[in-house]
Amino acid sequence: MFFSADHLAYARSVGVEKEAGVVFEYNNVNSMLLSDILRQVTGVAADRLLRDRILSRIGIDNVTLWQDSAGNPLTYCCIDTTARQYSRFGLLFASNGNWDGEQIISKDYVDQTFTKVWQGIKSESIAQDRGYALHWWISRDDDRSIIFNASGKFGQYIFVDRTNDIIFTRITKYHPPEGSRQDWGALNYINWIGSIDFRLHVSGVFRVFRAL
């Protein structure tokens, strides 16, 4: 999907392999379908909804919300901002959806978000079992703490410990391209050749040279 010009068209074309609720398999395609669902329900694009209903109301104004080449908002990834502003988003959830006395997100929704749906998910990076809820991962759930995290590309995280009122944000060295719409430019030709691993390797090398 990442290498497609129209991510939403790709997501719509993918069939169902298993019945819902049988096994946990994180899949970006499912998350991308939210772009379609939100537009059909509200008549407004997902990036506009996020900006108007949440981000601007909690002071997140220095932010880039990415679209694919066809102009579809990407709902499975790609929100660029600063560590402080990522932390504001985490603080909103830690505060039960309330921001300076205004209920931006309903507490019921935050409670549902921070209720473990899947557990026992194996991880190559942490020792304990992980869990998953509504697009949030559970990185710890024991007597010491219950920690949820929003996991981003390149090792970026927002950790939220709601009980102990702790937010921890980690960002990594990242050189975003200009603009807010995916544009492969001269690299567009690699979308027609080689495996996915090959394409990722080539695009990664290209990004490094652009950053130098």
Q: What is the pLDDT of residue 188?
A: 61
Dihedral (Cα; 82, 68, 46, 55), 10-degree rounding: 10
The parent domain of residue 97 ranges over 83-174
Express each pLDDT in 113-138 by its tens digit: 998 888 777 767 666 667 888 999 98
The pLDDT of 164-169, averaged and rounded, is 93
Domain boundary residue among 81, 101, 129? Answer: 81
73 and 97 fall within a common domain: no
Cite the DSSP H helix spans in the chain. Answer: 7-13, 28-42, 46-53, 83-94, 107-113, 196-211
Domain boundary residue among 81, 111, 126? Answer: 81
Q: How far apart are CA 16 and CA 19, in angstroms?
A: 8
Q: How far apart are CA 20 and CA 35, in angstroms?
A: 20
Q: How far apart are CA 79 and CA 110, in angstroms?
A: 20
149 and 189 fall within a common domain: no
Confidence label for 56 from pLDDT (cuts 50, 70 and 90): very high
Q: What is the pLDDT of residue 145?
A: 86
Express each pLDDT in 57-112 by its tens digit: 999 999 999 999 999 999 999 899 999 999 999 999 999 999 999 999 999 999 99
Identify the three-state secondary structure at position 8. helix
Express each pLDDT in 9-36 by its tens digit: 999 999 888 888 888 888 899 999 999 9
Q: Residue 211 pLDDT more than 60?
A: no
Confidence label for 172 from pLDDT (cuts 50, 70 and 90): confident
